[in-house]
Protein backbone atom coordinates (compact mmCIF):
# COMPACT_ATOMS: atom_id res chain seq x y z
CA UNK A 1 0.00 0.00 0.00
CA UNK A 2 1.45 3.37 -0.99
CA UNK A 3 1.41 6.33 1.38
CA UNK A 4 2.20 9.03 -1.17
CA UNK A 5 2.62 9.69 -4.87
CA UNK A 6 5.35 11.22 -7.00
CA UNK A 7 5.46 12.26 -10.63
CA UNK A 8 8.46 11.15 -12.68
CA UNK A 9 9.35 11.36 -16.37
CA UNK A 10 11.67 9.00 -18.27
CA UNK A 11 15.04 10.28 -19.49
CA UNK A 12 15.09 11.63 -23.02
CA UNK A 13 17.28 9.95 -25.66
CA UNK A 14 18.90 13.42 -25.82
CA UNK A 15 19.78 13.45 -22.09
CA UNK A 16 23.50 13.97 -22.78
CA UNK A 17 22.67 17.36 -24.35
CA UNK A 18 21.22 18.62 -21.06
CA UNK A 19 22.04 22.17 -20.04
CA UNK A 20 25.04 22.97 -17.87
CA UNK A 21 25.72 26.09 -15.85
CA UNK A 22 28.45 25.43 -13.30
CA UNK A 23 29.96 22.09 -14.39
CA UNK A 24 32.15 21.13 -17.34
CA UNK A 25 30.51 18.77 -19.82
CA UNK A 26 31.62 15.15 -19.52
CA UNK A 27 30.25 12.13 -21.41
CA UNK A 28 26.97 10.71 -20.13
CA UNK A 29 26.30 6.98 -20.37
CA UNK A 30 22.70 6.86 -21.59
CA UNK A 31 22.16 3.19 -20.78
CA UNK A 32 23.51 3.61 -17.28
CA UNK A 33 21.29 6.69 -16.86
CA UNK A 34 18.24 4.64 -17.81
CA UNK A 35 19.15 1.98 -15.25
CA UNK A 36 19.81 4.60 -12.58
CA UNK A 37 16.47 6.24 -13.27
CA UNK A 38 14.70 2.87 -12.90
CA UNK A 39 16.55 2.30 -9.60
CA UNK A 40 15.59 5.79 -8.40
CA UNK A 41 11.98 5.00 -9.18
CA UNK A 42 12.25 1.66 -7.36
CA UNK A 43 13.73 3.38 -4.31
CA UNK A 44 10.69 5.68 -4.11
CA UNK A 45 8.36 2.76 -4.71
CA UNK A 46 10.01 0.55 -2.09
CA UNK A 47 9.63 3.34 0.47
CA UNK A 48 5.91 3.89 0.08
CA UNK A 49 5.73 6.22 -2.92
CA UNK A 50 3.64 5.35 -5.92
CA UNK A 51 5.43 6.77 -8.96
CA UNK A 52 3.26 8.11 -11.76
CA UNK A 53 4.66 8.69 -15.22
CA UNK A 54 4.29 12.05 -16.88
CA UNK A 55 4.19 11.85 -20.68
CA UNK A 56 7.67 11.42 -22.14
CA UNK A 57 9.29 14.55 -23.54
CA UNK A 58 11.88 12.93 -25.78
CA UNK A 59 12.72 16.19 -27.53
CA UNK A 60 13.70 17.79 -24.19
CA UNK A 61 17.16 16.79 -22.92
CA UNK A 62 16.40 18.01 -19.38
CA UNK A 63 12.83 16.66 -19.25
CA UNK A 64 13.75 13.98 -16.71
CA UNK A 65 14.27 16.81 -14.17
CA UNK A 66 10.51 17.14 -13.86
CA UNK A 67 10.61 18.95 -10.53
CA UNK A 68 11.52 22.13 -12.38
CA UNK A 69 8.15 22.24 -14.17
CA UNK A 70 5.90 22.86 -11.18
CA UNK A 71 5.55 23.76 -7.52
CA UNK A 72 2.83 21.79 -5.77
CA UNK A 73 1.40 23.18 -2.54
CA UNK A 74 -1.79 21.76 -1.12
CA UNK A 75 -4.22 21.22 -3.98
CA UNK A 76 -2.51 23.79 -6.21
CA UNK A 77 0.15 23.08 -8.83
CA UNK A 78 1.90 26.23 -9.97
CA UNK A 79 3.23 25.55 -13.45
CA UNK A 80 6.59 27.26 -13.66
CA UNK A 81 8.23 29.33 -16.37
CA UNK A 82 11.77 27.94 -16.51
CA UNK A 83 14.57 30.46 -16.75
CA UNK A 84 16.11 28.46 -19.60
CA UNK A 85 13.77 29.11 -22.53
CA UNK A 86 14.51 25.72 -24.11
CA UNK A 87 13.10 23.99 -21.03
CA UNK A 88 9.62 25.52 -21.46
CA UNK A 89 8.80 22.73 -23.94
CA UNK A 90 8.71 20.43 -20.91
CA UNK A 91 5.67 22.14 -19.44
CA UNK A 92 2.61 20.92 -21.40
CA UNK A 93 3.04 17.21 -20.64
CA UNK A 94 3.81 17.90 -17.00
CA UNK A 95 0.75 20.14 -16.69
CA UNK A 96 -1.43 17.50 -18.29
CA UNK A 97 -0.15 14.89 -15.82
CA UNK A 98 -0.84 16.98 -12.73
CA UNK A 99 -4.25 18.14 -13.96
CA UNK A 100 -5.19 14.51 -14.62
CA UNK A 101 -4.49 13.86 -10.93
CA UNK A 102 -7.08 16.50 -10.01
CA UNK A 103 -4.85 19.40 -8.98
CA UNK A 104 -5.83 23.01 -9.64
CA UNK A 105 -3.23 24.79 -11.71
CA UNK A 106 -1.92 28.33 -12.00
CA UNK A 107 0.98 29.69 -14.01
CA UNK A 108 4.05 31.84 -13.60
CA UNK A 109 3.88 34.41 -16.40
CA UNK A 110 6.18 36.85 -18.18
CA UNK A 111 8.29 38.61 -16.87
CA UNK A 112 8.53 36.03 -14.12
CA UNK A 113 10.84 33.04 -14.36
CA UNK A 114 10.85 30.22 -11.85
CA UNK A 115 12.35 26.72 -11.79
CA UNK A 116 10.86 24.24 -9.33
CA UNK A 117 14.39 23.30 -8.27
CA UNK A 118 14.72 26.77 -6.77
CA UNK A 119 11.80 26.22 -4.41
CA UNK A 120 12.43 24.65 -1.01
CA UNK A 121 9.33 24.09 1.11
CA UNK A 122 9.05 23.22 4.74
CA UNK A 123 5.67 23.47 6.39
CA UNK A 124 4.44 27.01 5.64
CA UNK A 125 7.80 28.47 4.67
CA UNK A 126 8.81 28.47 1.01
CA UNK A 127 12.39 29.57 0.33
CA UNK A 128 12.97 30.63 -3.27
CA UNK A 129 16.49 30.89 -4.70
CA UNK A 130 16.90 34.01 -6.79
CA UNK A 131 19.76 33.44 -9.18
CA UNK A 132 20.41 32.17 -12.64
CA UNK A 133 17.00 30.61 -13.38
CA UNK A 134 14.49 32.24 -11.05
CA UNK A 135 13.95 35.98 -10.87
CA UNK A 136 12.29 38.25 -8.33
CA UNK A 137 9.16 38.61 -10.47
CA UNK A 138 8.76 34.82 -10.49
CA UNK A 139 9.19 34.63 -6.71
CA UNK A 140 6.68 37.47 -6.22
CA UNK A 141 4.12 35.70 -8.41
CA UNK A 142 4.63 32.49 -6.47
CA UNK A 143 4.18 34.38 -3.20
CA UNK A 144 0.85 35.79 -4.41
CA UNK A 145 -0.37 32.39 -5.57
CA UNK A 146 0.59 30.58 -2.35
CA UNK A 147 -0.46 33.28 0.15
CA UNK A 148 -4.15 32.18 0.17
CA UNK A 149 -2.93 28.71 1.14
CA UNK A 150 -1.06 30.13 4.14
CA UNK A 151 2.46 29.87 2.74
CA UNK A 152 5.10 32.55 3.16
CA UNK A 153 7.72 32.95 0.42
CA UNK A 154 11.23 33.91 1.54
CA UNK A 155 13.57 34.90 -1.32
CA UNK A 156 17.20 33.88 -0.88
CA UNK A 157 20.22 34.81 -2.96
CA UNK A 158 21.73 31.99 -5.00
CA UNK A 159 24.93 32.45 -7.00
CA UNK A 160 27.04 29.34 -6.64
CA UNK A 161 24.96 26.46 -8.01
CA UNK A 162 22.21 25.87 -10.54
CA UNK A 163 19.25 25.67 -8.18
CA UNK A 164 18.55 26.34 -4.51
CA UNK A 165 17.90 22.64 -4.00
CA UNK A 166 21.29 21.85 -5.56
CA UNK A 167 22.67 23.61 -2.48
CA UNK A 168 20.22 22.93 0.32
CA UNK A 169 17.25 20.76 1.28
CA UNK A 170 15.22 20.27 4.44
CA UNK A 171 15.11 17.43 6.93
CA UNK A 172 11.71 16.42 8.30
CA UNK A 173 12.25 18.61 11.40
CA UNK A 174 12.91 21.71 9.26
CA UNK A 175 16.69 21.75 9.65
CA UNK A 176 18.15 22.84 6.32
CA UNK A 177 21.12 20.81 5.13
CA UNK A 178 23.64 22.47 2.90
CA UNK A 179 27.21 22.51 1.75
CA UNK A 180 28.87 25.71 3.03
CA UNK A 181 30.65 26.36 -0.29
CA UNK A 182 27.35 26.54 -2.18
CA UNK A 183 24.92 28.27 0.16
CA UNK A 184 25.34 32.03 -0.16
CA UNK A 185 24.03 32.85 3.32
CA UNK A 186 23.28 29.95 5.69
CA UNK A 187 21.89 32.49 8.20
CA UNK A 188 18.66 32.81 6.15
CA UNK A 189 17.69 29.38 7.45
CA UNK A 190 16.66 29.23 11.14
CA UNK A 191 18.40 25.86 11.59
CA UNK A 192 21.28 25.04 9.25
CA UNK A 193 23.37 21.89 9.24
CA UNK A 194 26.58 21.88 7.20
CA UNK A 195 27.30 18.65 5.34
CA UNK A 196 30.73 17.57 4.09
CA UNK A 197 29.87 16.73 0.47
CA UNK A 198 28.06 18.83 -2.18
CA UNK A 199 26.10 15.75 -3.32
CA UNK A 200 24.93 15.27 0.28
CA UNK A 201 23.20 18.64 0.39
CA UNK A 202 20.11 17.31 -1.31
CA UNK A 203 17.97 14.67 0.28
CA UNK A 204 14.38 13.63 -0.22
CA UNK A 205 12.44 12.90 2.92
CA UNK A 206 10.63 9.60 2.32
CA UNK A 207 8.53 8.09 5.11
CA UNK A 208 9.26 7.02 8.70
CA UNK A 209 12.60 8.84 9.02
CA UNK A 210 13.98 7.55 5.74
CA UNK A 211 16.06 9.86 3.55
CA UNK A 212 16.89 9.36 -0.11
CA UNK A 213 20.44 10.56 -0.80
CA UNK A 214 23.02 10.37 -3.56
CA UNK A 215 25.42 7.44 -3.33
CA UNK A 216 28.16 10.01 -3.99
CA UNK A 217 27.78 11.33 -0.44
CA UNK A 218 28.95 8.54 1.91
CA UNK A 219 30.19 10.85 4.65
CA UNK A 220 26.93 12.80 4.74
CA UNK A 221 25.08 9.48 4.76
CA UNK A 222 27.04 8.52 7.87
CA UNK A 223 26.42 11.91 9.47
CA UNK A 224 22.65 11.68 8.96
CA UNK A 225 22.50 8.03 10.00
CA UNK A 226 24.16 9.05 13.27
CA UNK A 227 21.25 11.45 13.80
CA UNK A 228 18.87 8.50 13.59
CA UNK A 229 17.76 8.63 9.97
CA UNK A 230 17.55 5.52 7.83
CA UNK A 231 19.50 6.32 4.71
CA UNK A 232 18.50 5.18 1.23
CA UNK A 233 21.41 5.88 -1.15
CA UNK A 234 20.86 5.85 -4.91
CA UNK A 235 23.51 6.12 -7.60
CA UNK A 236 22.54 9.01 -9.90
CA UNK A 237 26.00 9.74 -11.29
CA UNK A 238 24.79 10.28 -14.88
CA UNK A 239 22.25 12.88 -13.76
CA UNK A 240 24.78 14.57 -11.47
CA UNK A 241 26.96 15.16 -14.56
CA UNK A 242 24.05 17.34 -15.77
CA UNK A 243 23.64 19.17 -12.45
CA UNK A 244 20.74 16.95 -11.45
CA UNK A 245 20.14 15.60 -7.96
CA UNK A 246 17.76 13.32 -6.05
CA UNK A 247 15.20 16.09 -5.66
CA UNK A 248 14.80 17.23 -9.26
CA UNK A 249 14.07 13.74 -10.64
CA UNK A 250 10.54 13.74 -9.19
CA UNK A 251 7.68 15.92 -7.99
CA UNK A 252 6.58 14.66 -4.61
CA UNK A 253 2.86 15.11 -3.98
CA UNK A 254 2.78 15.50 -0.22
CA UNK A 255 -0.12 17.84 0.15
CA UNK A 256 2.27 20.64 1.17
N1 LIG B 1 20.63 20.27 -16.59
C2 LIG B 1 19.63 20.79 -15.74
C3 LIG B 1 19.34 22.20 -16.04
O4 LIG B 1 20.22 22.89 -16.48
O5 LIG B 1 18.26 22.71 -15.87
Burial 191-211 (b: 16+ CB within 10 A, else e): ebbebebbbbbbbbbbeeebb
Report the C-alpha gap between 249 and 66 in whole angstroms: 6
Give 120's strand partners. Answer: 127
**Which of the following is catalytic: 60, 179, 202, 248?**
248
Task: Compute how many other C-beta atoms are within 10 angstroms of the C-beta atom of residue 226.
Answer: 8
Predicted TM-score of the model (pTM): 0.96
CA of 208 to the centre of ligand 1 (A): 31
pLDDT tens digit sequence for 26-80: 999 999 999 999 999 999 999 999 999 999 999 999 999 999 999 999 999 999 9
Specify the pLDDT at position 254.
79
Ligand 1 pocket: which of 12, 22, 23, 62 to mutate (most atoms <8 Å of CB)?
A: 62
Query: Is 229's C-beta closer than 6 angstroms to any atom of ligand 1?
Result: no
- The DSSP line for 98-126 is HHHTT-EEEE--TT--B-GGGEEEETTEE
pLDDT tens digit sequence for 138-162: 999 999 999 999 999 999 999 999 9
Q: Which range marks the domain in which residue 240 is found?
A: 4-253
Report the C-alpha gap between 214 and 160 in whole angstroms: 20
**Which of the following is catalytic: 122, 163, 179, 202?**
163
C-alpha dihedral, 19 to 141 to 143 to 126, nearest 10°: 0
Please name the residue whose Cα sits nearest to atom 3 of ligand 1: 19
Please confirm, yes or no, whether 202 is among the known catalytic residues: no
Please name the residue whose Cα sits nearest to atom 4 of ligand 1: 19
Atom of ligand 1 nearest to the CA of 68: 5
- The residue with greater pLDDT, 22 or 64, is 64
Specify the pLDDT at position 2.
76
Specify the pLDDT at position 255.
59
Are 4 and 254 contacting, i.e. CB atoms less than 8 angstroms apart? yes
CATH code, domain with 137: 3.75.10.10
State how many domains the chain has: 1
Amino acid sequence: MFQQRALVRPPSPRLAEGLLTHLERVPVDAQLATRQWADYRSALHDNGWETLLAPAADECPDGVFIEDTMVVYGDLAVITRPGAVSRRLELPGAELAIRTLGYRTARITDPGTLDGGDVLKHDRTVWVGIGGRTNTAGADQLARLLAPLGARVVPVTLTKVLHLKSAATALPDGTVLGHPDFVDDPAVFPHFLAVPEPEGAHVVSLNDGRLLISAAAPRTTEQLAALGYTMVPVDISEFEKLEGCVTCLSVRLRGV
